[in-house]
Chains A and B, each alone.
Chain A
Amino acid sequence: MTLMVMSGNSAQAYAACRARVQVIAAYPITPQTSIVEELADFVAAGTLPAQFVKVESEHSALQVCISASALGARTYTATSSQGLLLMHELLHWAAGMRTPIVMGVVNRSVAPPWSLGADHADTMSQRDTGWIQFYAESNQEVLDTVLQAYRLAEDPAIRLPVMVTEDAFFLSHTVEPVEVPDPSLVDSFLPARDARAVLVPGVPARLGSFTGPKEYVEFRREVAKAMERVPEAFHRIEQHYQSLTGRSHGGAVSHYRTGDADAVLVTMGTMTTTARTVVDEMRAEGNKVGLAKLRLFRPFPAEEFRELARRTDRIGVVDRSFTFGAAGPAATEVAAALYRSSHHPVLSSFLVGIGGREVTPNHIREMFGRLLAGKGPETRWMDLPPPAEEVAHG
């Protein structure tokens, strides 16, 4: 184990290196670029004996990974924002082909107007492509989750692609201490890929194929069933990782002081760190507040939120993107999950940090304050001035 100060992008690259990926597809986009630069250095130095394919677009990057994975190789690529959107068609292909690709995604806002700031609209708009999605809070979590993602993706009962996302700049370009596990430890956690249902030279078989309506639904159901197996498989994988490293990031949903909380905020990514500190401060002030970090977004851990709803009367879901005509995407997912619950807490959707705006302690306090004051349910843009009628009436 080595403790190093590194960026989230370095954490992606180190994890791919420790995972002994065999094929890397590389295409630059801000703020992802340093991931593939660092991997290029690993390959050039002989540290990582991988095929480094310099593609002409993100679209081709993902196709390279799909085709390489279809032949049994362990593959990695990384992208962000517009690049992820260009991959859209191939995201479906990767999942339908059951190729266990792991991809780093730096969450960045989507043009127009051009903006480089952190925003979850890029990955949220790809949430129904059949990829497993993790959102990371810290660079350590980035590194650990990428390694866990390979175990999960290649699990014979899963065999689906995984994206591990990190907030632009707040992780991608922020350096902080990260423990890098030794190669031998990673090798024992993550052995070589047990390639199944892949193409074999000399063996006639067609991967992809085409069907009428008859088998198509069965194939889709197979993907859905694999998704249903993810929570249990991930729990097992993270426990194994913890037994080797002593570290856990708390499963699909990581709870902090929610046991007796009157109000709970649901957060994703880097805002969680700030929110945790505010929870401690507000607890010290006598407010029973708690925090649920949503780490695994796809498949959505609905049962965990039904469990949370039994313990608390007020839930605010904090989203770094929005769904037109509704609320934040995480908020709509939580609402859907709670519809099948006998407990229906007040559920508010808070939109904050969009386009790279800071999520400050004051934001967190204000959101908790609204929940504790009995306001809501509401959908509220926290970075914008309050609605005029609210100003008029106090």
Chain B
Amino acid sequence: MVKLTIPAPELMYSGHSACPGCAPALAMRLMLKGLGPRTIVSVPACCWTVVATPYPTTALGVAMLDNPIESTGASISGLRAAADALGLTDVHILGFAGDGGTADIGLQALSGMLERRTNAIYAMYDNEAYMNTGVQRSGATPLGAWTTTTPVGDGARGKAEPKKDVMGIVLAHRPVYAATVNPSFPEDFVRKVEKAAALRGPRFFHIFTPCPPGWRYPSDQTIEIGRKATDCGIFPLYEVEEGRYHVTRKGGSLRPVTEYFQAQGRFSHLVPEDLARVQAQVNADWQRLLRLESGT
């Protein structure tokens, strides 16, 4: 028999409509492995609206509700209110939204859900642009990235503004639990989901989800790019429980960010000076994270 490091049951069906090498598909697969079959997931307009396949089929082995792009936070508040009213005490309520639907147009509803202490999990799968509409910049698109609305040319060098700190916004609401997860580290991913599942109150996941067409890399590199993102310090893995930080992957010193940037076409126009600035920022952010963890 085979020894598995993550749960065997599959609650995401094959036959879905994700692009080859899609990390958001893996993110859903791992999230549902951690939460189990008595999950109700609310999905706004995002890649997963399409990935979940057209009527009359569904790609999820759980109950799924569609909601408009801006209202996921409110939707999971409504689902929890109904579950409480109907005596459904053993269900997990999950909002599963993209970065545009969370960091931009859905931020108000997310803030409302966190502030009113809805007993639910909100997961943002972050592919760092509006991918379902064909790669337009969002507030979560990183500095310098090419998208169709941040083109590269003589007068423009990709996105001119840095990425919005969604974890920082979420943590300002003091959720009971918030964590970063990455499908390249499935054991860490599922462990955090299982931990969150045992808690009550507002919980948040920031999921790092590389996108082959949108980030311009070959589909077989998805896991490798996700791994580089964490090991270069671009996307550190940590969790915050009742305000206490815990960095869950520390592999000695960080790898240079060039390894991450050079693997993706969306950054191909960046010059060494650009990457040096990114490296300095990543180093500073990493030190800040370690200080938050040590409480100094």
A binds B: yes
Mask of B71-110 contacts with A, CB within 8 angstroms, 1/0: 1011111110111111010110000000000000000110
> Closest Cβ of chain B: how far from A330's Cβ, in Å?
30
Asked whether, in the complex, the Cβ of B77 is within 8 Å of the Cβ of A53, the reply is: yes
The answer for the CA separation of A65 and B78 in the assembled complex, in Å, is 6
- Looking at B47-55, B152-160, B181-189, the stretch in contact with chain A turns out to be B47-55
> Closest Cβ of chain B: how far from A174's Cβ, in Å?
32
A59 (CB) vs chain B CBs: closest residue: B71
User: Which of B50, B52, B58, B86 is packed against the most chain A CB atoms within 10 Å?
Assistant: B86
Asked whether, in the complex, the Cβ of A51 is within 8 Å of the Cβ of B74, the reply is: no
Chain A residue numbers with a CB within 8 Å of B38 are 201-202
Chain A residue numbers with a CB within 8 Å of B84 are 51
B209 in contact (CB, < 8 A): no
A68 in contact (CB, < 8 A): yes
Asked whether, in the complex, the Cβ of B67 is within 8 Å of the Cβ of A71, the reply is: no
The answer for the CA separation of A70 and B64 in the assembled complex, in Å, is 10
> Closest Cβ of chain A: how far from B90's Cβ, in Å?
8
Asked whether, in the complex, the Cβ of B85 is within 8 Å of the Cβ of A200, the reply is: no
Chain B residue numbers with a CB within 8 Å of A68 are 78-79, 81-82, 85
| Contacts A53-B116, A200-B63, A209-B66; A67 near B82 (Cβ below 8 A) | yes
Partner of B81, one of A53, A200, A205: A53
A204 (CB) vs chain B CBs: closest residue: B61
A212 in contact (CB, < 8 A): yes
Asked whether, in the complex, the Cβ of A55 is within 8 Å of the Cβ of B40, the reply is: no
Partner of B66, one of A54, A203, A207: A207
Count residues of chain B with CB under 8 A from any CB of chain A: 45
> Closest Cβ of chain A: how far from B65's Cβ, in Å?
5
Chain A residue numbers with a CB within 8 Å of B68 are 63, 89-90, 93
Asked whether, in the complex, the Cβ of A59 is within 8 Å of the Cβ of B74, the reply is: yes
Chain B residue numbers with a CB within 8 Å of A72 are 82, 86
The answer for the CA separation of A202 and B91 in the assembled complex, in Å, is 9
Asked whether, in the complex, the Cβ of A55 is within 8 Å of the Cβ of B77, the reply is: yes
CB interface residues, B 97-145, toward A, < 8 Å: 108-109, 111-112, 115-116
CB interface residues, A 53-95, toward B, < 8 Å: 53-57, 59-61, 63-73, 75, 89-90, 93
Asked whether, in the complex, the Cβ of A67 is within 8 Å of the Cβ of B109, the reply is: no
Chain A residue numbers with a CB within 8 Å of B54 are 209-212
> Closest Cβ of chain B: how far from A43's Cβ, in Å?
12
Assign chain A's interface to a size class: 35 or more
A219 (CB) vs chain B CBs: closest residue: B55
Chain B residue numbers with a CB within 8 Å of A65 are 78
B109 (CB) vs chain A CBs: closest residue: A60
Chain B residue numbers with a CB within 8 Å of A70 are 65, 78-79, 82
Chain B residue numbers with a CB within 8 Å of A22 are 82, 85-86
Chain A residue numbers with a CB within 8 Å of B147 are none
A279 in contact (CB, < 8 A): no
Chain B residue numbers with a CB within 8 Å of A93 are 67-68
Asked whether, in the complex, the Cβ of A207 is within 8 Å of the Cβ of B81, the reply is: no
The answer for the CA separation of A60 and B38 in the assembled complex, in Å, is 25
Partner of B82, one of A54, A71, A203, A204: A71
A116 in contact (CB, < 8 A): no
The answer for the CA separation of A199 and B79 in the assembled complex, in Å, is 10
Asked whether, in the complex, the Cβ of B63 is within 8 Å of the Cβ of A63, the reply is: no
Asked whether, in the complex, the Cβ of A67 is within 8 Å of the Cβ of B60, the reply is: no
Asked whether, in the complex, the Cβ of A207 is within 8 Å of the Cβ of B71, the reply is: no
B42 in contact (CB, < 8 A): yes
Chain B residue numbers with a CB within 8 Å of A209 are 54-56, 58, 66
A53 (CB) vs chain B CBs: closest residue: B81
Asked whether, in the complex, the Cβ of B55 is within 8 Å of the Cβ of A67, the reply is: no
A393 in contact (CB, < 8 A): no
| Contacts A55-B112, A60-B112, A67-B79; A211 near B55 (Cβ below 8 A) | yes
> Closest Cβ of chain B: how far from A379's Cβ, in Å?
37
> Closest Cβ of chain A: how far from B134's Cβ, in Å?
17
Asked whether, in the complex, the Cβ of A204 is within 8 Å of the Cβ of B63, the reply is: yes
B289 in contact (CB, < 8 A): no
Asked whether, in the complex, the Cβ of A210 is within 8 Å of the Cβ of B58, the reply is: no
New A-B pairs, 19, CB < 8 Å, besides A56-B108, A67-B82, A206-B66: A22-B85, A23-B81, A50-B85, A51-B81, A53-B77, A60-B71, A64-B75, A65-B78, A67-B79, A73-B82, A89-B68, A199-B65, A201-B40, A201-B83, A201-B90, A202-B62, A204-B63, A206-B60, A215-B56
Question: Which 7 pairs from chain A and chain B are nearest by CB?
Answer: A208-B66, A67-B78, A56-B112, A60-B74, A64-B78, A68-B82, A63-B74
Give 30 CB contacts A-B under 8 Å: A23-B85, A51-B81, A51-B84, A55-B112, A56-B112, A60-B73, A63-B75, A63-B78, A64-B74, A64-B75, A66-B78, A67-B77, A68-B85, A69-B78, A71-B79, A73-B82, A73-B86, A75-B78, A199-B40, A201-B39, A202-B38, A204-B58, A205-B58, A206-B58, A207-B63, A208-B65, A208-B67, A210-B49, A210-B50, A211-B54
Q: Which residues of B contact A (CB under 8 A)?
A: 37-40, 42, 49-50, 52, 54-56, 58, 60-68, 70-71, 73-79, 81-86, 88, 90-91, 108-109, 111-112, 115-116
Q: Which residues of A contact B (CB under 8 A)?
A: 22-23, 25, 50-51, 53-57, 59-61, 63-73, 75, 89-90, 93, 199-212, 215
